[in-house]
Amino acid sequence: MKYIDFFLILFLKILTVRSTRVKGTWNTADDFFFFLLKFGFQKTDLHNPDSSGFVYGNITTDNQKFVKSATFIIVDYDNFFEYYKSYKYNKLSKNKEKLCSQMFSKFSIGKCDDNYLKNINYISEIPCPKERLCENSGDVSNLVRGSQFSYQIKDYQYPRYWYASFAACYRNAVTCTWHHLTNNVKIEYDIFFVNENPNKSSFNPFVYQFSFDKQDTVEFYLLFFVIYALLVPVQMYAVTHQNHPVTKLFTGSLFLEFFGVSFNLFSSFKFALDGQGFPRIAIIGDVLDILSRTEIDIVEEIDEYQTWPGYLILLLRVVIIIWFLLELRNTMKYEHNKRKLNFFLHFGASALVWFIYLPIVALISLMMSSLWRYKLLFGITYAADCLAYCIMTHLLWPTRSEQYFLLANSLDSGGDELDVFNEAPHILNNYVPSSPALSDSGQYLKLIDLNHYS
C-alpha cells in the first residue's frame, strides 16, 4: 500500500507545480482554449492601495501580418465559472463559432464601440504589437517598465482566486459578436501575477510572488529547517552509540525529512525572488518528504480538485491504523517485560494520534475556503511530523532504548543473541518449572558451581 500511495502522491505533486511567472508559447490552432494560471489575490487594504494585486507582462508574435486577434481574459471565480463551463461541456464540438459565442455571452453586454473591451478591464485582444502597448493595457499610471499591459486587481471585501486564460476567439468590432480564430498563430507570452505594487520597492518578498493560499509557507519551511538542523546532529550522536536496525531506519527517515525541507526551502527562497523557483528541486524535496514518512500525507496537494487519489490515501491510512492497533495488541499480549510494555504504551499512544490526525483535519478542512485550506493542512502536517521525530528521538535515546530494544554497542561481547532468545515470547510464556524444588535445585547447582571456581 505504501508504494501505491507514493506513486499517487508523486503524480499529484507534478500535476500541481505552478509559478506566478508564466512564460511560454501558445499555438492557436493546437489549443482552442489555453489555461494559464489560478492565482489568489489578497484583500486590498483601504488605507494602502499598493496592497492590491497586479498582473503585467508581454504577449507578442513574430507574425507581423496577423490581423485578427485572439483573447486574453482574467476574471474572478464567479465570471470564470460560466465562461469555463461553456467550454468544458462543448469542447468536443466542431462548431467553434458557436462555442466562442457561448463562452463570451456573459461579457457581450454594453455599448458596441472601440471602447467596448476597454470598459471590461481584464479582457484584452492579443497579441500586442511588438514594442508597443496592448489595445487594453490597463491604467497607464500603473504600467511596469518593459511591460505592454498592467492590470490592477482590487478587492476590498476578501481574498479571492482569479483565473487567467487564452481563447482562440475574436470580437467583430462592428457587430460585437464573437467568432472563432481559424489562423494558426504562435503567440509568445511572459506574464507576472503578484500581490502588492511592483512599482514600489518596499514590498514584502515573502508575500509578493506568492498566491494568497501559499503566503507564509517560506517562514514555515525556515522554522522546520532550523528545528531539523538541531535535531539531526543530536540523532547522529545517538545512532553512533547504538547498533540496532530500528534506530538506523529512524535516522535515515529523519535525514530524508531534513533534506526534503531543505530543498523546499531553497526553492521557496528562489521563488520569492523570481516567481518561478526551482520546480525540479521542489519536486525532489516533496519526494524525499514522501519517502521519509511511514504513511504519506498528500491531502494538502489536492485541495483544489478533491480527486479520488486523496480519498484513497485517507482510506489506506485508516486501514493502516486498524492494522497497527491489531499488531500492537498482539505484541503486547506476548510481552511480559514491564519496561517494554511501558514503551509500547507510550509509542502506541503517540503513533495513534499521529495516524488519526490527518483524516480528522482533512474532514474539517473541507468545510473551509480553499484559500485557507492549504496553509492549515501544510502547517498541521509538518508540525505533527516534526513533533513525531522529536518524540521518537527521545524514546530511542541510548540511555532509554537499551531498556527495551537490547541495543548493542561496540563493547558488547556477543551475548545479545542469547539474551534475545531468553526473552522471546514463546520462552517467556511457555516456560514453567516442573516444581519449586527443581527450580531451587537449579539455583543451588549454580551456587555450587560458583563456589567451585572461587
- Structure confidence by residue, pLDDT tens digits, 208-259: 888 898 888 889 999 999 999 999 999 999 888 887 787 888 898 899 889 8
Residue 259 lies in a domain: yes
- Structure confidence by residue, pLDDT tens digits, 113-164: 555 554 455 888 889 888 888 888 888 888 888 899 999 998 888 899 999 9
Q: Is residue 88 domain-shared with residue 226, that is, in the same domain? A: no
* Cα four-point dihedral sign 417, 418, 421, 422: negative
- Structure confidence by residue, pLDDT tens digits, 20-45: 889 999 999 899 999 998 899 999 88
Q: Is residue 188 domain-shared with residue 312, that is, in the same domain? A: no
Q: Is residue 257 domain-shared with residue 365, that is, in the same domain? A: yes
Give the orientation angle of helix 398-405 with respect to helix 338-365, to 10 degrees.
Answer: 110
The rounded mean pLDDT for the chain is: 75
Give CA–CA dist 95/296, Å, rounded. 45
pLDDT classification of 366: cutoffs 50, 70, 90: confident
- Only one residue has cell 504589437, namely 129
The answer to whether residue 335 scores a pLDDT higher than 60 is: yes
Using CA atoms of 411, 236, 254, 414 in order, give the dihedral in degrees to the nearest 10: -10
Residue 110 lies in a domain: yes
8 A C-beta contact, residue 213 and residue 375: yes
Residue 422 lies in a domain: no
Q: Is residue 253 domain-shared with residue 387, that is, in the same domain? A: yes
8 A C-beta contact, residue 40 and residue 305: no
8 A C-beta contact, residue 5 and residue 296: yes
Task: Supply 325's cell numbers.
Answer: 492497533
End position of a domain, from candidates 181, 203, 225: 203
> Structural domain of residue 383, as residue ranges?
212-405
8 A C-beta contact, residue 238 and residue 389: no
For 328, the enclosing helix (H) or strand (E) is: helix 308-333
- Structure confidence by residue, pLDDT tens digits, 134-148: 888 888 888 888 899
pLDDT at site 55: 94
- Structure confidence by residue, pLDDT tens digits, 171-200: 887 888 899 998 888 999 999 999 988 888
Q: Is residue 218 domain-shared with residue 338, that is, in the same domain? A: yes
Within 101-156, strands assigned E span: 123-126, 149-153
Q: Is residue 249 domain-shared with residue 198, that is, in the same domain? A: no
What is the number of domains present in the chain?
Answer: 2
pLDDT at site 235: 92
Q: Is residue 363 domain-shared with residue 279, that is, in the same domain? A: yes
End position of a domain, from candidates 165, 181, 203: 203
Q: Is 319 buried (19+), middle (13-18) or exposed (0-12) by CB count in 10 A?
A: exposed
Residue 427 lies in a domain: no
pLDDT at site 208: 86
Task: Supply 173's cell numbers.
Answer: 468590432
pLDDT at site 445: 35
306 φψ region: left (φ > 0), alpha (ψ -120 to 50), beta (else): left
Q: Is residue 352 domain-shared with residue 226, that is, in the same domain? A: yes
Q: Is residue 160 domain-shared with residue 117, that is, in the same domain? A: yes
pLDDT at site 287: 57
Residue 447 lies in a domain: no
Q: Is residue 165 domain-shared with residue 182, that is, in the same domain? A: yes
Q: Is residue 230 domain-shared with residue 195, that is, in the same domain? A: no
What is residue 250's three-state secondary structure? helix
